[in-house]
């Protein structure tokens, strides 16, 4: 079990020997205004939108490492460039503890959106920032991130557009979809050349599309690490639901179906799901989480703004624009729309009911209008909701 010593206190991540798990499942009492909307660069159609982030003086800029050796393994970005990662080494008591963070950033499902992404940082290491700030759960600041600041923290950049799960080459488009190979090549490099093979604790995390990837690869990482290492996973904003949209269709299911087919994702999905469900269903976390053996912690907003905007009320399902105002501003929603959103929240609660019965798993689902909450300082530390006088998600995650 992961333990962290601080001020003479030993903390243990999601050890469910208290009624905390039930409390977490029932935490839907926070008003929407308690959270800061922290949406990752997610956009289902069109290639994503950049959101500016205010950089603090305490933020450390972490340089990029281009993994050229991965090319010979066919582990390449969409345009054929090598994959990349950023590593901030651990220190002191964190030397043998690792956070492996899978970057998020949406997906692509057709020629137009995939061509666009191939010319962006989500499809090419040539377009990636040469250094990025590590914040929230990735921060090196003891005050912002007291539990994990001294760990080895690595962010694997996202350039395959399939949640690190595809393995295909589109001859017509001349685009590579090699997410599974990127995952394997970078993890093997960290094991062989960066010291992760001697890790005592490893936490696999990810936000949004990276949160989905963390779920998909959770057991895979466990299998690659020594048996003595403690391995757990944290999916932030990755609980995408197979929900009915405002027009009565299933927009996200249709979209995911295209992604799975275009990128040949099916062989890399958990066989505990594909042995009884179709591949598209097994790209939805709700159909995967109950079969994963490695402990997982789910952090999600019950009113996930990305899912509201792009899955429940995308423009294609809202031809008359009735949801245009509501989906971007909850205060503009009428009673019927609020009831519809409440139904989505209820579906999310139902989706994690069996998962929450496991004493090795954990979850924190709040009633915020947000998307991704662990990688921003304001929602990871300073402005996160309180539960039993615990102000940060990290304190809840590590409570005994």
Tens of pLDDT, residue by residue over 135-176, are 999 999 999 999 999 999 999 999 999 999 999 999 999 999
Residue 375: the pLDDT is: 93
Whole-number percent of the chain with pLDDT over 70: 81
The CA distances from residue 272 to 58, 99, 152, 219, in Å, are 44, 26, 31, 11
Decide if pLDDT at 394 tops 80: no
Where does the pLDDT of residue 189 fall: very low under 50, low under 70, confident under 90, or very high at 90 and above? very high
More confident residue, 282 or 20: 282
- Please give the structure tokens belonging to residue 322: 């009735």
Decide if pLDDT at 42 tops 60: no
Report yes or no: 239 and 298 within 8 Å, Cβ to Cβ.
yes
Of the candidates 86, 149, 217, 371, the residue annotated as catalytic is 371
Question: What DSSP letter does each residue of 301-324 carry, written as one string?
Answer: ETT-HHHIIIIIS-GGG-TT-TTT
Where does the pLDDT of residue 381 fall: very low under 50, low under 70, confident under 90, or very high at 90 and above? confident
Report yes or no: 369 and 312 within 8 Å, Cβ to Cβ.
no
Collapsing DSSP to helix, strand or coil, 233 comes out as strand
- List 297's β-bridge partners, or say none: 234, 362
- Please give the structure tokens belonging to residue 152: 């080895």
Residue 397: the pLDDT is: 52
Residue 47: the pLDDT is: 38
- Please give the structure tokens belonging to residue 161: 């557009």
Where does the pLDDT of residue 387 fall: very low under 50, low under 70, confident under 90, or very high at 90 and above? low
* Rounded-to-integer distance, Cα 153 and Cα 85, Å: 10
* Rounded-to-integer distance, Cα 288 and Cα 17, Å: 25
* Rounded-to-integer distance, Cα 105 and Cα 358, Å: 30
**Which H helix or E strand runs over 212?**
helix 209-216
Report yes or no: 77 and 176 within 8 Å, Cβ to Cβ.
yes
Question: Number of helices (H) and strands (E), helices first, in the chain?
Answer: 11, 13
Tens of pLDDT, residue by residue over 91-131, are 999 999 999 999 999 999 999 999 999 999 999 999 999 99
Q: Which residue has the tokens 């093997």?
A: 188
Residue 31: the pLDDT is: 35
Residue 380: the pLDDT is: 87
The pairing of beta strand 230-236 with beta strand 296-301: parallel
Report yes or no: 208 and 238 within 8 Å, Cβ to Cβ.
yes
Residue 389: the pLDDT is: 60
Decide if pLDDT at 9 tops 60: no
208 counts as catalytic: yes
* Closest to 151 (Cα-Cα) out of 6, 15, 8, 16: 6
Where does residue 250 rank: exposed (0-12), middle (13-18), buried (19+ CB within 10 A)? middle
Of the candidates 208, 281, 356, 374, the residue annotated as catalytic is 208
What's the mean pLDDT in 297-317?
97
Whole-number percent of the chain with pLDDT over 90: 78
CATH architecture, range 4-397: 3-Layer(aba) Sandwich (3.40)
pTM: 0.86
Where does the pLDDT of residue 7 fall: very low under 50, low under 70, confident under 90, or very high at 90 and above? very low
Note the maximum CA span of the chain.
60
* Closest to 399 (Cα-Cα) out of 326, 315, 297, 308: 297
Decide if pLDDT at 295 tops 50: yes
Angle subtended at Cα 182 by Cα 72 and Cα 132, rounded to the nearest 5 degrees: 115
Tens of pLDDT, residue by residue over 256-276, are 999 999 999 999 999 999 999
Residue 378: the pLDDT is: 84
* Rounded-to-integer distance, Cα 299 and Cα 363, Å: 6
Decide if pLDDT at 288 tops 80: yes
The pairing of beta strand 168-170 with beta strand 175-177: antiparallel
* Rounded-to-integer distance, Cα 124 and Cα 397, Å: 34
What's the mean pLDDT in 312-331?
96
Mean pLDDT of the chain: 86
The pairing of beta strand 9-11 with beta strand 4-6: antiparallel
Kindly list the domain boundaries of the chain, sorted by start residue: 4-397
Residue 383: the pLDDT is: 56
Cβ contacts of residue 257 below 8 Å, gap of 6+?
280
Residue 348: the pLDDT is: 97
More confident residue, 155 or 55: 155
Residue 35: the pLDDT is: 54
Instruction: Phi first, then psi: give them for residue 269, nearest 5 degrees.
Output: -85, 155
- Please give the structure tokens belonging to residue 367: 């009633």
Decide if pLDDT at 38 tops 90: no
Where does the pLDDT of residue 279 fall: very low under 50, low under 70, confident under 90, or very high at 90 and above? very high
The CA distances from residue 151 to 4, 138, 178, in Å, are 10, 9, 29
Of the candidates 304, 311, 367, 384, the residue annotated as catalytic is 304
304 counts as catalytic: yes
What's the mean pLDDT in 349-362?
95
């Amino acid at each position: 079990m992961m333990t962290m010593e601080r001020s003479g206190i030993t903390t243990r991540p999601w050890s469910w020997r208290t009624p905390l798990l039930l409390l977490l499942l029932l935490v839907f009492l926070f008003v929407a205004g308690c959270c800061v909307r922290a949406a990752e660069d997610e956009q289902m159609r069109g290639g994503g939108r950049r959101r500016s982030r205010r950089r603090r003086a305490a933020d450390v800029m972490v340089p990029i490492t281009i993994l050229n050796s991965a090319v010979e393994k066919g582990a390449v970005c969409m345009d054929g460039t090598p994959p990349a990662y950023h590593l901030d080494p651990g220190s002191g008591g964190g030397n043998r503890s690792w956070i492996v963070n899978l970057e998020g950033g949406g997906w692509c499902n057709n020629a137009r959106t995939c061509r666009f992404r191939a010319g962006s940082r989500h499809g090419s290491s040539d377009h990636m920032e040469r250094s990025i700030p590590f914040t929230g759960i990735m921060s090196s600041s003891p005050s912002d991130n007291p539990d994990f600041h001294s760990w080895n923290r690595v962010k694997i950049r996202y350039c395959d557009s399939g949640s690190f799960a595809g393995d295909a080459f589109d001859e017509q488009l001349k685009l590579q979809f090699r997410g599974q190979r990127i995952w394997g090549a970078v993890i093997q490099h960290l094991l062989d050349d960066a010291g992760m093979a001697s890790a005592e604790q490893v936490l696999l995390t990810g936000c949004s599309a990276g949160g989905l990837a963390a779920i998909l690869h959770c057991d895979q990482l466990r299998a690659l690490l020594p048996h003595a290492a403690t391995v757990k996973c944290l999916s932030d904003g990755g609980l995408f639901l197979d929900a009915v949209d405002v027009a009565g269709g299933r927009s996200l299911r249709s979209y995911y179906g295209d992604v799975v087919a275009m990128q040949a994702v099916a062989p890399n999905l958990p066989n505990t799901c594909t042995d009884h469900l179709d591949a598209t269903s097994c790209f939805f976390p709700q159909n995967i989480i109950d079969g994963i053996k490695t402990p997982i912690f789910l952090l999600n907003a019950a009113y996930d703004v990305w899912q509201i905007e792009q899955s429940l009320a995308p423009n294609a399902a809202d031809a008359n624009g009735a949801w245009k105002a509501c989906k971007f501003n909850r205060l503009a929603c009428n009673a019927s729309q609020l009831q519809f959103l409440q139904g989505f929240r209820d579906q999310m609660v139902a989706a994690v009911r069996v998962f929450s019965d496991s004493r090795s798993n954990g979850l924190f689902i709040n009633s915020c209008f947000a998307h991704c909450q662990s990688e921003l300082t304001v929602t990871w530390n300073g402005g996160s909701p309180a539960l039993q006088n615990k102000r940060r998600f990290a304190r809840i995650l590590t409570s005994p």
